[in-house]
Amino acid sequence: MKKTSLAIEGMHCASCAINIEKQLNKTDGVKSASVNYGMSKAYVEYDEDAVAEDVIDEVITSAGDYRVVREGEHDDHMSHGKGPDKAYKKFLTALILTLPLLATMFFPDLMMKDGVMEGMAALTAVVVFVVGWQFHRGMFLQLKRFRADMDTLVSVGTLSAFIYSLYAMTIDGHVYFETAAVIVTLILLGKYLEEKSKGRASSAIKKLLELGVKKARVLVDGKEQEMDIEKIREGDILLVKAGEKIPLDGEILKGSSSVDESMLTGESIPIEKNMGDLVYGATINGAGVIEMKVTKTGENTVLAQIIQLVEQAQGSKAPIQKLADKVAGIFVPSVMVIALATFLIWMFVVGSGFESSIIYAVAVLVIACPCALGLATPTAIMVGSGKGAENGILIKESQSLEVAHKITAVMFDKTGTLTKGEPVVTDVNVFDDNLEKQELMTLACSLEAKSEHVLASAFNKHAKDLGLKTYETEGVKAIAGKGVEGKVNGKKIYLGNDKLIESLGVEKNNTHGDVFEDLADNGKTPMYVIEDKKVIGIVAVADVVRDEAKTAVKELTEQNIDVYMITGDHEKTAQAIAKQLGIKHVVANVMPDHKAEEVTKLQKSGSVVAFVGDGINDAPALAQADLGIAIGSGTDVAIEAGSIVLMQSNPQKVVDAIRLSRQTFKSIKQNLFFAFFYNTIAIPLAALGILSPIIAAAAMSLSSVSVVGNSLRIRRKRL
């Protein structure tokens, strides 16, 4: 079986994606197919012996007015920032042309002036047939396959209002040009809002690609040579200097350093790397100089795998099928049948004559025009997203609104999400009776002030916060994997872990060991402070929990939502943090691909999962989750991958975001229900001749006002 992803041009609504997906899954030799409208991509798994690639292309193109974009054109396709601009221009054009038509509603005397009626007809024709041509094209394509969708509904409504208005001009009857134009304008507004969310997945992937380096230093016969990353092969020896990004995955052959792997693990504390240790592309080398042997290149690197995971997870999401489209499949043909039946019954059974019969039939079609439907979703989204923005919550995708009210589990990334993501000094223990805490920390902070030690930032911040005046130091240097040493105020001072104690031959008593272990058990990183081979203190550093995290966990639990914490930290540290927060479910020692896997496991167990994260490493899990919530202070990639973005690093906002999403989606459901309910009541009245086209148009306007009013109620609700 072969898996492939195909970029597709020409999809303009969610039903397009569903249509293509259905046709692909019907094709012999295709095991599975998933089409993502947001990314404009099809993900196909197929048997190469049973079906050729060009056959798959043909199936896609024959499903409608679509085109498969091949590899050479891929970059252009990915950067489809023109989509929202084009949709906005269409909406703006329609709006500008429609506004003069609405003027006649407020100044009916204008209709009596020469040329006004003809001008209205001309403006409406441009809106309906030029600006709104996509709806008619969509209707024709669907009718060829004996199907109906939202495009069919829009096309039937606008054409009926326009054509009857032309007829009404000949008999001095009432015209409905503004009705046809308003329908197109409102629907184009909805299309613009949809188009804005398209391409975010591809943008996320592009940002991931930008993390990689373009060139690397290759050692050839001991000489340094700069080479393009694409030309480097497995087994090549690379030189990586201090502060540089590691070009590719590999093994350290010479040297030692601390490496910032936060883009992979999410953990803020750099990792000590020595000879024989593995390093990964796009991670950042610390102060040391290393020589490494390349073990993985191209699509086999960890970064490439993360990119693949993001893309696959996004593609695996079934496109949301709008409620309006679902109902339209039955509603549209039903309306057309009712309108035809209305005409025939009044014409031949009742004998009311052609003019009356056509008016009653048109009243049915006008009353069925989807003005309220066009407003139902975009108004709720606009009001909901506006309120969200005021409260630091950005709703990016309409899918999140439908998913939010079904959430049964929230999985939090630990570092930078539940915790602050930066190490701070938390504990100071003194074991020398002649030494004060402040003096101990002055010694430690002085040592770290000019140190390359991975935790130096915590000590530097501590000294700054307390206003400590550090001593002069000499010969300060890092001891790889153990700590740091140097002369402070004439004293030989060491700061480090158990390995440092052992290497120096320093004796530690039971008290020292108990304090050290107790701090480690509580999720902290303890370090011995040593003077002249004597332990004079223990200082602990930790990534501290955010103040709002405990409240957020409590509120989610009270809503019967299971709360999980996932982290690359050790089990002991993770459990200690979880205990502080009241979290029962903990997944520790996790790499990026495993985060997405853990989300998948929860989904397979029947949970509807929201994932909350801030780092690049969280992007696959954010994409895989039913609802991805990204912390805005995190990386751009995480923000792009998430469906909801929190502009503040406040876990409490997760609760608010879910609540707002539920409120917004509830409003959308109410709007759609009202729109369809209105039609089910009004259409029979129109068919019975109780409602004239004029009254039908007024009732249609009233339904639109009601939908807008219901959407505005979101603003008054508390989060």
* Residue 365: pLDDT band with limits 50, 70, 90: confident
pLDDT at 52 exceeding the cut of 90:
no
pLDDT at 314 exceeding the cut of 80:
no
- What local confidence, expressed as pLDDT, does residue 569 receive? 72
Which of the residue ranges 33-37, 130-134, 203-207, 569-573 would you say has the lowest mean pLDDT? 203-207
pLDDT higher at 646 or 459: 459
pLDDT at 96 exceeding the cut of 90:
yes
Give residue-wise pLDDT tens across range 588-626: 888 766 889 999 999 999 999 999 988 677 888 988 899
Clarify whether 626 is annotated catalytic: no
- What local confidence, expressed as pLDDT, does residue 75 receive? 43
- What local confidence, expressed as pLDDT, does residue 73 receive? 47
C-alpha dist (Å) from residue 368 to 156, 199, 421: 9, 33, 55
Select, from the ranges 117-121, 290-294, 496-500, 617-621, the one with the highest average predicted confidence (pLDDT). 290-294
pLDDT higher at 647 or 13: 647
Among the listed residues 149, 260, 413, 543, the single catalytic one is 413
pLDDT at 664 exceeding the cut of 60:
yes
Q: How large is the average pLDDT for residues 150-157?
A: 72
User: Which amino acid appears at position 377 of this protein?
Assistant: T
Any idea what DSSP says for residue 534?
E
- What local confidence, expressed as pLDDT, does residue 329 receive? 55
Give residue-wise pLDDT tens across range 104-115: 767 777 777 778
* Residue 266: pLDDT band with limits 50, 70, 90: low
Length of the chain: 719
Task: Please give the torsion angle defined by the CA atoms of residues 7, 10, 11 and 16, in that order, rounded to the nearest 10 degrees.
Answer: -110
Element (H, E) at 376: helix 371-390
- What local confidence, expressed as pLDDT, does residue 61 receive? 86
Percent of the chain whose pLDDT exceeds 90: 26
pLDDT at 19 exceeding the cut of 80:
no
Q: Are 596 and 641 in contact (CB under 8 A)?
A: no
- What local confidence, expressed as pLDDT, does residue 318 receive? 32
What is the spatial distance between Cα 21 and Cα 199, in angstroms, rounded to a whole number? 19
What is the spatial distance between Cα 702 and Cα 719, in angstroms, rounded to a whole number? 29
Q: How large is the average pLDDT for residues 411-437?
A: 88
pLDDT higher at 37 or 215: 215
pTM for the full model?
A: 0.58
Q: Are 635 and 282 in contact (CB under 8 A)?
A: no
Q: How large is the average pLDDT for residues 419-425?
A: 84
What is the spatial distance between Cα 718 and Cα 336, in angstroms, rounded to a whole number? 43
pLDDT higher at 157 or 666: 666
Mean pLDDT of the chain: 81
Which of the residue ranges 227-241, 331-345, 381-395, 557-571 would you say has the lowest mean pLDDT? 381-395
Q: Per the structure block, which two tokens stand in for 210?
A: 């930008």
* Residue 197: pLDDT band with limits 50, 70, 90: very low
* Residue 333: pLDDT band with limits 50, 70, 90: confident
pLDDT at 251 exceeding the cut of 90:
yes
SS3 content of the chain, % helix, strand, coil (to 5): 55, 20, 25
Q: Which single residue is written with the structure tokens 């240097």?
A: 477
Give residue-wise pLDDT tens across range 66-83: 888 764 444 444 444 556
What is the spatial distance between Cα 590 and Cα 442, in angstroms, rounded to a whole number? 36
pLDDT higher at 319 or 525: 525
* Residue 267: pLDDT band with limits 50, 70, 90: low
